[in-house]
Amino acid sequence: MSAAQRTAVVAPVRRRSVTLGLSATGCVAALVVIALLVLAVIGPMLAPYPPGAIVTDDLFGPMSRAHLFGTDYLGRDMLSRILESARYTLGIALPAAALASLTGTSLGMLAASAGGLTDAALSRAMDTLICFPSIIFSLVVVAACGSSVTVLILTAGVIYTPGCFRIVRSIATDISAKDFVHAARARGERSPAIVLEEILPNMVAPILTDFGLRFVFIVLLLSSLSFLGLGIQPPYSDWGGLVRENLDGLSSGAPAVLIPAICIAVLTVSINLLIDSLPSRKGARRG
Amino acid sequence: MDDAAAPYVEVSGLCVVGREDGAAPVPIIIDLNFAIARGEVLALIGESGSGKTTAALALMGYARRGCSITAGHVRVGITDVLALPPHGLTAYRGRNVTYVAQSAAASFNPSQRIMSQVIEPALVHGLMSRGEAEDKARMLFRALALPDPEGVGSRYPHQVSGGQLQRLMAAMALITGPDLVILDEPTTALDVTTQIEVLWAFRNVVRQLHTTAVYVSHDLPVVAQLADRVVVLHGGKEQETAPIATILHEAEHPYTRSLLAAAKPSSKVASTPVAADAKRDVLAISGLVAGYGGLDAQGMPRFPVLHDIGFGIGPGSVLGVIGESGCGKSTLAQVIAGLLPAAHGTMLLDGRELPRRVAERTPEQLQAVQIVFQMADVALNPARTVAGILARPLKFYHGMRGAAARRRVAELLDMVHLSLQLAERYPDELSGGQKQRVNLARALAAEPKLILCDEVTSALDTIVAAAVLELLAELRRELGVALMFISHDLSTIRAICDQVMVLYAGRAVEAGPRATLESKPMHPYTELLLASVPELRTDWLDGIERAALEEASAGLTMEDLHRPCPFFRRCPVHLPGLCDVQPPPVQRLSKGAAIACHRTEDELRQAQ
Amino acid sequence: MADASAATGSGTIRVSASHSVVLGLILRRTGLSLLLLLTVSIVVFAGTELLPGDVAQIVLGQSATPDALAGLRLTLHLDQPAWHRYFTWLFGLLTLNPGESLVNNMPVADLVGGRLGNSLLLASLTTLVTVPLALLIGITAAVWRGSPYDRTVNLLTVAAVSVPEFLFATSAVLIFAVHLHWLPALSYAADADSFSGLLRSFALPVGTLAVAIFPQMARMTRAALISTLGSSYIEMAVLKGVRPVRLILRHALPNALGPIANAIALSLSFLLGGIVVVESVFNYPGLAKLMVDAVSTRDMPLVQACAMIFCSGYLLLVLTADIVAILSNPRLRYR
């Protein structure tokens, strides 16, 4: 019994950090993302001018005290335009990413746990969707259905579902092969309980990471669509649309064209850096 | 052994630390000193985490990622290894000191032919021409008793068996005629009947070439066959250094003694079987056939794994199932647990039919049979605390929750001798032994009649494994639970089981009371298996006949699986024209065991 | 692999060396790609023709006259059942005659023909620039992983992956064309009379595309090589005294070939998306620009044909990577 007690005493305690364990870069990135989300919600209230109002004759005006981000091709205040458009950029990308994550996760789980014909059918369907470069798929849909907010959310949601599906399915298949899932099955638990109690709790981190990535892709896709003039239609606009509107100001280096582009980059780069700095939960190898 | 003349290899004050990202450095080796004389084999003995591999690698001036050598001197011949510049190390490694890794299968590059990898050290160090190197390699292949020494070099690693790869790696290590060879657990990944041949080959080559070697292992009986002297390591510190005979017979350090105690079969653990006369078996199985892939026209699985298995387990008794990798012993546990439905056969639980599929079983039946898996690491859900893991079956089987469940969790932890403080820990915060205890506690939570233990001690260090074994014996004594104990390790089976069944290629070749393993005659495979287990004495390997080795090294092939008797090709007493035509009949021996063999008891007695 | 459980460790499963296994795998993979292409065509067709409501109305808009609508319905064969139209269209695709453009009444094949060549030129030039660069950076970053160099590469590539192509494009125009006057802001393949002219007119679009897809490729190459460098046989080679260059070239790269081919193919598929924006920005007369214009004018036959070409391009890339992976795996070549 002495040996038994010895093992009980020698318990390696590993610290489970209270902070998220983010690096300095990660913390800054997280703050930027949160700030942008808050701005999208309360932004219009902070806008110095009504977003649609033409407030000056100075087209493509430079940054000034009156117009922090300069003025656009019609003489509207860019800061107000940016704050207004944030709602479209984030307000479409967020639900679209959520849609992609939700359908991708549920279908991926279904494929992994049901296996057989269900898995084969779902996987082939997803393979078909994956063949479409995302912007090509969007172009086809826009050609057919126009580009209302609903259509954009659905399109972006659908085209990024397969990516999430594949990741979830492969991780869930890996976990299903683990002995703790076999143990639950041998205990007599049913599939839904096994998915919810045993598999899903181990997938929260990868699903959230994937959600972040999908979100970035969707922001980029929708901005590109708007930049091509096929996204949100005037008078409304997202950041990509603002770049397009003010493209004529490019030759003079107007802030009106650069600032919205930079806004997009700040958002997506921050999210990517945040994801990149998430601590991976793998211990080092010891011999 | 410490001569006045400077020893050939000398390590002094060696310190190695490991560093995880951001965490404080952890010492892995602390102030290690040892010396090796020319032509001597020194063993580094220790359990996992003792730093034995790290110490061996330091002899090559190498530290794995995340580790660094912080202090000390390593001298091999006239080379001060730790003072070498990077290009000096490259010239030194593989030339002066060579390495044989634990897993040859992973250590051979899958995309290159074997010969080019074996001769690579000789070529990159510019020691000989390609032709000379290949000749020397073939010479070494012969010395290492490899089958087909001429042709094996042109194969790819995946085309060669594990035991052969291990010997090929030894050839790679010897080709440059190094000053020192490091053998790092070279036989640990092998089956016993394969290990014996590899050991024999290593020992012969080392003796022939007067090689100076470091043998890293956790396995004392294996080390006893090769080593001249032993350094016992624990927690990165040297515990005891002595000649092998001294270690075996008059070890001083308490840790060394506990290692020795754990390595010796301690049959005191096993109690005599509970009077199994009146009551019927908890589990009775007959004619069991199972496998993978769909069923064919005759109702046989496409890849059959188990053939016509039958046995019974009495209440509170322990059935040991022994066999080597691929014999189907884990499949048997899965079939009984209902995870892999059997294709044929009947299973009776307490005399009543047990459905083949887990989904068709009643809650009582599910509760009565519990399974404990080998790898404690993956058998516990990493996202749940210990309390959460144990609460799950309590709720599922007994509808227990809240305070009642918490009380029961505490009782269960107590039963497996774990502190209540561990309840809120996550699995990755537990040691291997602790995880396996939680695993057992989870099975006990169901209050089962039978626990299927699938290699539950195999992944554990010997001392920890011995303690878990002791716990199992105690639980069986106090709770009266029956066990099916699956293992590849004879001493473990001997220590705990009342009945044993020997599996070979999915067939039961011998079954009977525990004593059947002690008395001859026995099935030829059982005999081979018993003869292959290294014993804790230095002259064991010398007593092995060369003929027995040839059978052992043959291993199991795909063709064997389709023979009426799969052991036919390896069997020393096979009868061509009978054994390869008709399936062997089951016969009862006078010692009380049943074997599947064409040979009569008298014939076997004479042969053995 | 199901039989692996039956005979692991103890015995070797040896089937006579056969190339038919490899060939069979490749044929299977190719067949699967063709099947996927078929389902893609169904999606494209259904997405553009089986809309709720009247396709003719959608194409012509609310202000169309009844006569024009009736005329268009006839041209589109809307009187026939959908499956009939699908098979007519599919047959047309297979015989390189995917119908007529609705906007300028030219055969789609003619419109696509010239443009496809331009786009392929742009794509191949970009590939030529990107692949060696990405391999070099990815491999060196993997070899010196954890070094300041690796961390810098990591930071830059993370940033570059998340920046939209049009930002690169517009900044490039701003810097090189507007401020420095080194290069023309717009690119016309027709300008390319001399070599320097070609170089000048392609520099911006190729550069932009390269910057857009190169980070992804470098990151994936790095990841593929790092997972190989973690193998036991690499450690073994180090312990044999193999020098770093030989270690990478002889031991690591041959085993990472499959994953790296996969990384390159996937990154190049981003090129298919990126080219849409780049052709638009630089007014490059390629297929993507044609498709964007067709979308604005709702020229459905043209949109369908372009979509099919882009999807085939993706499938071809992935198929090539799979075949490279199959061919580079000795376990499949020698059983």
Beta carbons of B597 and B584 less than 8 angstroms apart: yes
C17 near B CB under 8 A? no
The pLDDT of residue A10:
35
B2 has a pLDDT exceeding 60 = no
CA–CA separation, A1 vs A17, rounded Å?
35
User: Which chain C residue has the Cα nearest residue A129?
Assistant: C40
B15 forms bridges with which residues in the sheet? B71
Res. B141: pLDDT tops 50: yes
Please report how the helices C19-49 and A134-145 are oriented relative to each other, as an axis angle in degrees rounded to 10: 30
> Residues with Cβ < 8 Å from C138, sequence gap 6 or more?
C217, C218, C219, C220, C221, C222, C224, C225, C260, C263
Q: Which of residues 243-302 of C touch A (CB under 8 A)?
A: 269-270, 272-273, 276-277, 280, 291-292, 294-296, 298, 300
Beta bridge partners of A106: none
Domain residue limits at A259: 23-286
* Percent of chain B predicted with pLDDT > 90: 52
Residue B66 has pLDDT above 50, yes or no: yes
Laid out side by side, the sheet with B213-217 consists of: B97-100, B180-184, B213-217, B41-45, B229-234, B237-243
A125 located within any domain: yes
Of A8, A185, A188, the CB nearest to B417: A8
Report the distance separating Cα B595 and Cα B170, nearest Å. 38
**Average confidence (pLDDT) over B158-183:** 90
Measured between CA atoms, the residue of chain B closest to residue A203 is: B383
User: Which residues in chain A (159-178) have CB-CB distances under 8 A to chain C?
Assistant: none
Phi, psi of B90 (to 5 degrees): -60, -40
B171 shares contact with chain C (CB less than 8 Å): no
CB-CB under 8 Å, A283 with B431: no
pLDDT of C5 > 70? The answer is no
Give, for C84, the enclosing helix (H) or strand (E): helix C82-94
| pLDDT classification of C188: cutoffs 50, 70, 90 | low
Distance between CA A176 and CA B310 in Å, rounded? Answer: 30
CA distance B412 to B445: 7
Mean pLDDT check: name the lowest of B20-24, B267-271, B296-300, C73-77: B267-271
What would the pLDDT profile of B204-257 be if each residue is shown by its tens digit?
A: 888 888 999 999 998 888 999 999 999 999 988 999 999 999 988 888 888 888
Contact at 8 Å (CB) between B49 and B87? no
Judge contact between A245 and A73, C-beta under 8 A: yes
Q: Distance between CA A194 and CA A174 in Å, rounded?
A: 14
Least confidently predicted of A1-5, B44-48, B70-74: A1-5
Cα C277 from chain centre:
14
Mean pLDDT, range B58-85, rounded to an integer: 91
Beta strands in C106-254 (DSSP E): none
Chain A CB contacts of B393 under 8 Å are 187
- Which tokens in the block code for residue A266? 């700040």
Chains linked to C by 3 or more Cβ pairs within 8 Å:
A, B
Residue A1 lies in a domain: no
C-alpha to C-alpha distances, B439 to B317, B364, B455, nearest whole angstrom: 21, 21, 13
Does A18 reside within a domain? Answer: no
pLDDT digits (tens, 9 = 90+) for A25-73: 788 888 999 999 888 888 778 888 887 788 888 888 888 888 888 888 8
Cα-Cα-Cα-Cα dihedral sign, residues A87, A88, A89, A93: positive
Q: What is the pTM of this model?
A: 0.84
Q: A136–C296: do the CB atoms touch at under 8 Å?
A: no
Among the listed residues A209, A7, A52, C52, the one whose alpha carbon sits nearest the alpha carbon of residue B431: A7
Whether A11 is in a domain gets the answer no
E-strand stretches of B200-282 = 213-217, 229-234, 237-243
Report the distance separating Cα A265 and Cα A253, nearest Å.
18
Taking Cα atoms as reference points, which of A210, A176, A272 lies closest to residue C156? A272
Residues B600, B602, B603, B607, CA torsion sign: positive
Residue B342 CB coordination number (10 Å): 24
Per-residue tokens: B159: 């085309």
Which residues are CB-neighbours of C225 under 8 A, at least 6 positions away?
C138, C139, C142, C143, C252, C253, C256, C260
**Residues A223-250 pLDDT 10s:** 999 988 888 888 788 899 998 888 888 7
Chain C residues close to A223, C-beta within 8 Å: 164, 166
Total domain count, chain A: 1
Predicted confidence (pLDDT) per residue in C48-75, tens digit: 776 655 666 666 666 677 777 777 777 7
Q: Which of C3, C237, C238 sits opposite B303 (nearest CB)?
A: C3
pLDDT digit string, tens, across residues C11-33: 333 334 456 788 888 999 999 99
Both tokens of B578, joined, read 């009978």
**Residue B33 contacts residue B12 (beta carbons within 8 Å):** yes
pLDDT score recorded for residue A15: 41
Give the phi and the psi of residue C98 in degrees, each rounded to 5.
-85, 40
| Number of residues that make up chain C | 335
Put simply, whether A24 touches B (Cβ < 8 Å) is no
pLDDT band at B490 (very low <50, low <70, confident <90, very high): confident
**Mean pLDDT calculated for residue range B57-66:** 90
Chain A touched by C226 (CB under 8 Å): no
Instruction: Tell me what pLDDT residue A236 has.
Output: 84
User: Does the residue A16 lie in any domain?
Assistant: no
d(CA B315, CA B450): 8
Average pLDDT, chain B: 88
User: Residue B366: pLDDT band by 50, 70, 90 thresholds?
Assistant: very high
CA distance C159 to C140: 19
Residue B453 near residue B321 (C-beta atoms within 8 A): no
In terms of Cα–Cα distance, which of A140, A137, A171, A127 is closest to C319? A127
A205 at B interface, C-beta within 8 A: no
The alpha helices in C144-194, defined as continuous H runs, are: 148-161, 165-172
User: Percent helix, strand, coil in chain A (nearest 5)?
Assistant: 70, 0, 30
Q: Which residue has the higher pLDDT, C182 or B389?
A: B389
Residue A174 contacts residue A203 (beta carbons within 8 Å) = no
Instruction: Please state, rounded to an integer, the average pLDDT across all residues of chain A.
Output: 83
Is C266 a residue whose pLDDT tops 70?
yes
Q: What is the pLDDT of residue A279?
A: 62
CATH value at residue A105: 1.10.3720.10
DSSP 3-state assignment of A20? coil
Q: Evaluate whether residue A3 is within a structural domain.
A: no
Q: What is the pLDDT of residue C9?
A: 34
pLDDT of B58 higher than 70: yes
B414, amino acid identity: D
Residue A2 domain-assigned (yes or no): no
pLDDT score at C239: 94
Residue A254 lies in a domain: yes
CB pair distance less than 8 Å for B506 and C6? yes
C269 vs B370, which has greater pLDDT? Answer: B370
pLDDT at A85 over 60: yes
- What values do phi and psi take at A88, rounded to 5? -75, -45
State how far the Cα of C136 lies from the Cα of B95, in Å rounded to an integer: 31
Burial class of residue B66 in the structure, from the number of CB atoms within 10 Å of its CB (0-12 exposed, 13-18 middle, 19+ buried): middle
Return the pLDDT at B42: 95
CB of C11 within 8 Å of a chain B CB? The answer is yes
Tokens of B129: 């021409």
Among candidate residues B16, B21, B15, B31, the one with its CA nearest the CA of residue B63:
B16
What pLDDT score does B539 carry? 84
